[in-house]
Structure 1
Amino acid sequence: MSRPRTRLALAIASTALLATLATAAQAQSRDDRFVLRLSAFNPEAELGFSGNGTVTDGTDSATFAFNEDFDTGREWRPRGAIGFRISDRQALVGNYYDYRRDETWTYGGNVLDTGTIIPGGEPIEIPGARIDGRLSFNLASLNYEYAVVKNENFEWGLGLGVTYAELEAFANGSSTGTDLVDPQFETVNWKRDGFSPGLHTRLQWIPADRWSVSLEAQYLDTRWGDFLDERGHFERGGLLVEYMISERVGIHAGYDWFRLKLSDDYRGTARAPDGIDAGPFPYGGKVTGDLKVHGPMAGLTFRF
């Protein structure tokens, strides 16, 4: 009697094991039509300005260049992503970001020896400055994706889509006075928003049941739409590791990086303070702004 009971126990155990493996495989490989990821994003930003130009007094001219970088601290912000599968190889993929940060930047001033660029030029004191500003943007994208390569463990998709962005920079700036320049205070509010078509690609690898690893990238040029008047481009890359706790709910963690680089020409005229017989001094050149945002993220995944 013991042998039939042993065989029965082995059969029951084998059936239970197969059912468990089938459930795990279904949780990972089932063709979900809708995926929602809600994340907390903890980015830091690097804002840089560089440029060059020429100034003249009508007789002689001089060239100049500058390169300044500002870093901001970290702050948790919301982030979301969706995926809607149209067919076995077609899908719609969307992403949303929200970034906002208040910062203070200071510049201690300097002395520029103009004699190195204009014969007989005198040293000029460059005033110190303080800027209290706020940098914020909202970025949302929706892309159509087609899986060029697709099997049980790997998928590579290419796509086209549209990106909406709203960028805003607000600053109160003040500078100290020098022998030639009075103390000054200015308020600047710059805001742009618009749409632009973009390129999209995504790689997904399934190394084991319930696990997946994804790489995603996007690119757009500001001249493709009405995104901005300034010349420039936007790049984004993201890495995501996901584990499905159950058939419908999972957890994920990853790292996101994106960059917006803009450049524009400028020109103007500087005038000496009252009582000083000099100038005017026409100037012009090119300035480039470079915003990099990157940081870790983590959150929940829902599949339906």
Structure 2
Amino acid sequence: MSQSPLGSLAVCAIPAAVMLAMLALPAQAQSRDDRFVLRLSAFNPEAELGFSGNGVVTDGSSDATFGFSEDFDTGREWRPRGAIGFRISERQALVGNYYDYRRDETWEYGGTVLDTGTIIGGGEQIEIPSARIDGRLAFNLASLNYEYAVIKNETFEWGLGLGVTWAELEARASGASESTDLVDEQFETVNWKRDGFSPGLHTRLTWIPAERWSVGLEAQYLDTRWGDFLDERGHFERGGLIVEYMINERVGIHAGYDWFRLKLSDDYRGTARAPDGVDAGPFPYAGKLTGDLKVHGPLAGVTFRF
């Protein structure tokens, strides 16, 4: 049975908590009894979008399997990023994060060849044409988590929590494909947009190695079936590292790196018909399609503590 990313982090964090607590000297600690923390950052991510699938097509008497896998990359663009923290009591806090991402890109798909087995012409291969795709990826992510500090001293804190994540995802694409012997030249436009809420898991490590300095590690995880986040099966996971230096008691600067991933899968089915002049078909087909979006990049900004 596979272990969730949050579970893996928790297992690793226990010995790390003990080690860091031993290494951190109380004389180095800086008092962090502020009630409210606000971080405003510029986030410079790149995205990797992958699609893979497999399926079976039949003519009623024979079956053939097929599969594909394609990856598309996007360039970098600075986007806003925000985080807040509100301390309720000595060990309790509310932690929030916000992301905004959008990117217009052009991708080239080189095409592929599918082997139809015995279905068409005793094993004839079908050429899937190359295509040019102009698209936009956009999303907003906001999360709010309740956190309880399982371990807390002057230099180290480890908290676990539960929360809720809201997401708005949008994908637009228009593509033109070349013609082949069996497929005419085509042009298609696709618009897809979803938004919703889902409960999630949260953990955070904070270490103060010296006066004015702090290092933080944060992670989140949710399954799309836990709420109305998306109809598709999948999960969202995120990890972030941040290093902060306080210029004075209230204002500081920070830099770090954030990474998150959304993986979705869904079943599909339909019926394909042969072009005019080809005496074959129709061909019912069914399979599974998986989409994988990874976003990661550096961030830097200003911290305010009150």
Give the TM-score normalised by the residue count of structure 2: 0.88
Q: Which has the larger radius of gyration?
A: 1
2:92 alignment partner AA: Q
| Partner in structure 2 of residue 68 of structure 1 | 70
Q: Is the CA contact 2:268–2:289 (under 8 Å) kept in the aligned structure 1?
A: yes
Q: Is the CA contact 1:265–1:284 (under 8 Å) kept in the aligned structure 2?
A: yes
Alpha-carbon distance change, 292 to 188 in structure 1, aligned in 2, over 3 angstroms: same
1:273 alignment partner AA: P
Report how many aligned residue pairs link the two structures.
Answer: 280
1:114-263 correspondence to structure 2 within 5 Å:
114=116, 120-263=122-265
In structure 2, stretches of 5+ residues that fail to align are 1-26
Of 237-246 and 269-278, deviating more is 269-278
Distance 2:152 2:230 in 1: 37
Distance 2:304 2:140 in 1: 23
Cα-to-partner distance string for 1:207-230 (whole Å, 9 max, x where unaligned): 000000000000000000000000
- Give the SS at the match of 1:262: strand
TM-fit CA distance, 1:119: 8.2
TM-fit CA distance, 1:126: 2.0
Distance 1:149 1:255 in 2: 24
Distance 2:48 2:162 in 1: 28
Identity of aligned residues (%): 88
Q: Is the CA contact 2:110–2:130 (under 8 Å) kept in the aligned structure 1?
A: yes
TM-fit CA distance, 1:108: 2.6
Distance 1:30 1:173 in 2: 53
- Deviation >3 Å, runs of 4+: 110-119
Distance 1:112 1:62 in 2: 10
Q: Is the CA contact 1:60–1:118 (under 8 Å) kept in the aligned structure 2?
A: no
| Partner in structure 2 of residue 40 of structure 1 | 42
Q: Is the CA contact 1:25–1:210 (under 8 Å) kept in the aligned structure 2?
A: no
In structure 1, stretches of 5+ residues that fail to align are 1-23
Distance 2:134 2:58 in 1: 31
TM-fit CA distance, 1:74: 0.6
- Give the SS at the match of 1:223: helix
Q: 2:269 aligns with which of 250, 267, 270?
A: 267
Give the TM-score normalised by the residue count of structure 1: 0.89
TM-fit CA distance, 1:106: 1.1
Q: Is the CA contact 1:149–1:155 (under 8 Å) kept in the aligned structure 2?
A: yes
1:213 alignment partner AA: V
1:10-21 correspondence to structure 2 within 5 Å:
none
CA RMSD, Structure 1 to Structure 2 (Å)? 1.7
Q: 2:95 aligns with which of 90, 93, 96?
A: 93
Q: Is the CA contact 1:144–1:159 (under 8 Å) kept in the aligned structure 2?
A: yes
Of 256-265 and 52-61, deviating more is 52-61
Distance 1:30 1:53 in 2: 56
Distance 1:231 1:115 in 2: 31
1:285-296 correspondence to structure 2 within 5 Å:
285-296=287-298
Q: Is the CA contact 2:132–2:175 (under 8 Å) kept in the aligned structure 1?
A: yes
